[in-house]
Structure 1
Amino acid sequence: MAHHAFNSEFDAKKHVEFKGTVTKMEWINPHAWIHVDVKKPDGTVEAWMVEAGTPNTLLRRGLTKNSLLPGTEIHVDGYQSKDGSLRANGRDLTLPNGQTLFLGSTGTGAPGDPGEKK
């Protein structure tokens, strides 16, 4: 999978926020992916894919392979894909213990990117 700028795939105007259950965590380069089942009010379940930074970046921020085991309840704040599919670029992830971690990669152009020049 090729590396890309945020705005090539995701829309900064399509903010998404949801709670869900981790089903799988892919520690792959250039971006890790978190698979999350999100239960809707009508009882149906949506299977979301959340793009995160590189595995190395996530490790430096305190996330490990054991942080997001299947069954872990998480809160995701991010931006939906431009094509409207159930994919998001994750900005922040809140763990069950209340810890919030920045998921994004710096220098991608995502809103609030600490690597972007002001």
Structure 2
Amino acid sequence: MTILSLRLRAAAALVLAAAAAPALAHHSFAMFDQKQSFTVNAVITQFQWANPHCWVEADVPGGKGAHKSFPHLSLEMNGLSGLRSGGWNAKTLKPGDKVVIEYHPMRDGTAAGQLVSVKLADGRQLKAQ
């Protein structure tokens, strides 16, 4: 093998390893019970506009409507590109916003889930998947 051939093989290996890293870091959505969904009135406490997934933190006054009485929910969303095409941006949700949230609960019963949609105070409904 020539030095050029070795360098090309090494470069190809590096490119393949770099391309595979995001796939390895990505997780399954099996932890969410997608056969169930719940709708709650909530107040946004934090909106994290980030890759690989955006997150919503929300207080649920009285836990009404939830499958359990959770005072707070942590909800995972899709990534930025999918949300942008659905009308989302970094300022869509702000702390203090009163919204109606639909989500798939966690299979293990913890106070978290996968956000399905948000109904904003102005009546717009945005899908989160």
TM-score (normalizing by structure 2): 0.70
2:92 to 67, 70, 76: 67
- What SS class does the counterpart of residue 40 from structure 1 fall into? helix
Secondary structure of the residue that 2:60 maps to in structure 1? strand
1:46-77 Cα offsets, whole Å, 9 max, x none, are: 11011111122212211121110100111111
Q: CA separation in 1, counterparts of 2:55 and 2:109? A: 17
Match of 1:4 among 15, 21, 27: 27
Once the two structures are superposed, the pairs formed by residues 1-118 of structure 1 within 5 Å of their partners are: 2-6=25-29, 8-40=30-62, 46-104=71-129
SS of match in other structure, 1:79: strand
The 8 Å contact of residues 45 and 58 in structure 2, kept in 1 or not, is answered as yes
Which runs of 5 or more residues in structure 1 are unaligned?
105-118
Letter in 2 for 1:63: W
DSSP 3-state at the match of 1:10: coil
Q: Which structure carries more relative contact order (alpha carbon 8 Å, separation 6+)?
A: 1
Q: Greater CA radius of gyration, 1 or 2?
A: 2
Q: State which drifts further: 58-67 or 16-25.
A: 58-67
Aligned to 1:116: none
Q: Normalising to structure 1: TM-score of the pair?
A: 0.76
C-alpha distance after superposition, 1:13-40 (max 9, x if no partner): 3322111110001112221000000001
- Amino acid in the other structure paired with 1:30: P
Q: Percent identity?
A: 25
**Gaps (5+ residues) in structure 2?**
1-21
Counting matched residue pairs gives 102
Q: What RMSD, in angstroms, separates the aligned Cα atoms of the two structures? A: 2.1
CA contact (8 A) 2:63 2:70 kept: no
**Aligned AA (2:27):** H
